Amino acid sequence: MVFIQTRTKLVKYSKNKKILTKTAVLLSLVLFMLSPYPIYAISDEEQLQDLNEEILAAKERLSVIRNQKSSLENELAAFDLEISTVQKQINATQAEINVINRQISDTRQKIAEAEKNLNYQNSMMKEYIRTMYIEGQITTLELIAESDNFSDFVDRSEYLNTMHERVQETAEKIVALKSQLEDQKKQQEVKKSKAEQLKSQQLAQKAVLNSKRSGRQYILDQTAGSEANYKSYLADLQQKFTRLQESIWAKASGGYVSLGHVNRGDVIGYIGNTGYSTGCHLHFEIRTSPSTHVNPASYLGNGYFINPVSGVPMNVPYGISSYYFPGVFHTGQDYADGCAGTAIRATADGDIITRITGQGNTYPGGPVSYGNYVMIRHTNGMYSLYGHMR
């Protein structure tokens, strides 16, 4: 009779459970259809990967736009894409900062748990040692005398042996925990340092973003959105560059005054963002005479001239370039270092004949200039110029 009642209750419970399960499933489907938000969450790592993929796609698109025929529409589209790309880089940096901050929080929690475990093991060690001390005061004869029988004597002897083993095990755990704690604290410091570096990088990215926005607005202001005005603006810019070249290199003709001899490899300054510069970089030129500029790539590494910077790749080449102002001939090579302030070195032995300092950034509305720059007349009669220095 009891068995029948129990079985009846189980059958009813099973039916009720199935009804509740179906109801829960239907309710979940209704909530999913009505909810305006997805029920999954994108992790910071996934967001970072998506942003990096978008940045690469934007750079490819920018290269296509820059290689198209020069026009106001394309130039504004390039600025818009650059602004969007830099913003994505800022977002990617923030996502990376978020990942590191979460890792720092996780590590901080692990450190707290390790310290708690370490304190617990220390207290256990003290208790084991106290017990061993008390038990250790009893001699074997006393232990036999106090034991009710031989079995009791064996149990107490085994208990003392167990205490010895526990002390050894606890000591090993304490050593391991201390090592683990030190490792986690070192990881914490490394992650904090990385987060600080990323924050500095983000500030630099924001500065570039503001520069791109200013450049776009300046072109609109100068051209009033007119294609004809834009062509006139480019022609005027080319003339300014030509006059700048003629003015600077005219000083190098004939006799010169040495401002100091330098040897190949001597530091003469640092990469900066002065003059008519869209971002931190070195503009480097080589001339065979005051009026004849040449492609630096044809001379660097030939045994006489060395690279003016170390570890910084050339990002804008000599000549007409899709990375440079449309329609303007680039008379040197650019090396961008992301505002790291990389040292600039004399590319060969010679005498400094021009050194300009105290200049600020003039882009986009100011005069065209090299900002802070150095010009060297080399022992072979050629010249080199290092522009936009810090």
Query: Has residue 9 been placed in a domain?
Result: no
Identity of the residue numbered 348 = A
Q: What are residue 145's phi and psi, to 5 degrees?
A: -65, -40
Query: Has residue 165 been placed in a domain?
Result: yes
Looking at the chain, list the stretches that DSSP marks H as alpha helix, in order from N- to C-terminal side.
Answer: 2-34, 44-67, 72-136, 140-146, 150-223, 227-250
Query: Has residue 250 been placed in a domain?
Result: no
- Is the omega angle on the peptide bond into residue 364 within 30 degrees of 0, that is, cis? yes
Q: What is the pLDDT of residue 348?
A: 96
- Separation between Cα atoms, residue 81 and residue 113, nearest integer Å: 48
Query: Has residue 148 been placed in a domain?
Result: yes
Q: What is the pLDDT of residue 156?
A: 58
- Separation between Cα atoms, residue 61 and residue 85, nearest integer Å: 10
Q: Which residues 6+ apart lie within 8 Å of 273 measured at CB?
A: 279, 280, 281, 339, 361, 371, 388, 390
Q: Which residues 6+ apart lie within 8 Å of 26 measured at CB?
A: none
Domains contained in the chain, number: 2
- Separation between Cα atoms, residue 298 and residue 295, nearest integer Å: 6
Query: Has residue 350 been placed in a domain?
Result: yes
CATH number, domain at 88? 1.10.287
- In the three-class reduction of DSSP (H, G, I as helix; E, B as strand; rest coil), residue 389 is classed as strand
- Separation between Cα atoms, residue 73 and residue 214, nearest integer Å: 17
Tell me: do 324 and 196 sit in the same domain. no
Tokens of 218: 């300046």
On whether the CB atoms of residues 62 and 54 are closer than 8 A, the answer is no
Q: What is the pLDDT of residue 113?
A: 83
Query: Has residue 242 been placed in a domain?
Result: no
- In the three-class reduction of DSSP (H, G, I as helix; E, B as strand; rest coil), residue 346 is classed as coil
- In the three-class reduction of DSSP (H, G, I as helix; E, B as strand; rest coil), residue 118 is classed as helix
Tell me: do 337 and 219 sit in the same domain. no
- Separation between Cα atoms, residue 162 and residue 329, nearest integer Å: 86
Q: For residue 374, what is the enclosing H or E element? A: strand 372-378
Tell me: do 207 and 276 sit in the same domain. no
Tell me: do 147 and 264 sit in the same domain. no
Tell me: do 179 and 285 sit in the same domain. no
Q: For residue 237, how far is the Cα from the chain centroid?
A: 35
Identity of the residue numbered 111 = I
- Separation between Cα atoms, residue 309 and residue 388, nearest integer Å: 14
Domain final residue, candidates 223, 246, 281: 223
Place of tokens 């039916």: 15
Q: What is the pLDDT of residue 283?
A: 94
Tokens of 261: 């001899």
Q: What is the pLDDT of residue 1?
A: 39
Q: Domain residues for 101?
A: 39-223
Query: Has residue 12 been placed in a domain?
Result: no
DSSP secondary-structure letter at 70? P
Tell me: do 136 and 94 sit in the same domain. yes
Q: What is the CA radius of gyration of the chain?
A: 37
Tell me: do 202 and 334 sit in the same domain. no
Place of tokens 């640092």: 270
Tell me: do 59 and 191 sit in the same domain. yes
Tell me: do 187 and 292 sit in the same domain. no
Q: Which residue from 328, 322, 325, 319 is spatially nearest to 295, judged by alpha carbons?
A: 319
Query: Has residue 280 been placed in a domain?
Result: yes
Tell me: do 209 and 287 sit in the same domain. no
Tell me: do 200 and 299 sit in the same domain. no
Tens digits of pLDDT across the chain (390 residues): 333 343 344 344 344 444 444 444 444 444 444 444 444 456 656 665 666 676 666 666 556 555 555 678 777 887 888 888 888 888 888 888 888 888 888 888 888 887 888 788 778 777 767 766 665 555 555 555 555 555 655 555 666 667 677 777 777 777 887 787 788 788 888 888 888 888 888 888 888 788 778 878 878 887 887 888 877 877 787 788 777 877 777 766 656 667 889 999 999 999 999 998 888 999 999 998 877 889 999 999 889 999 999 989 888 899 887 667 766 788 899 999 888 889 999 999 999 988 889 999 888 777 788 999 999 999 999 999 999 999
Strands 261-262 and 372-378 come out as unpaired
Tell me: do 147 and 209 sit in the same domain. yes
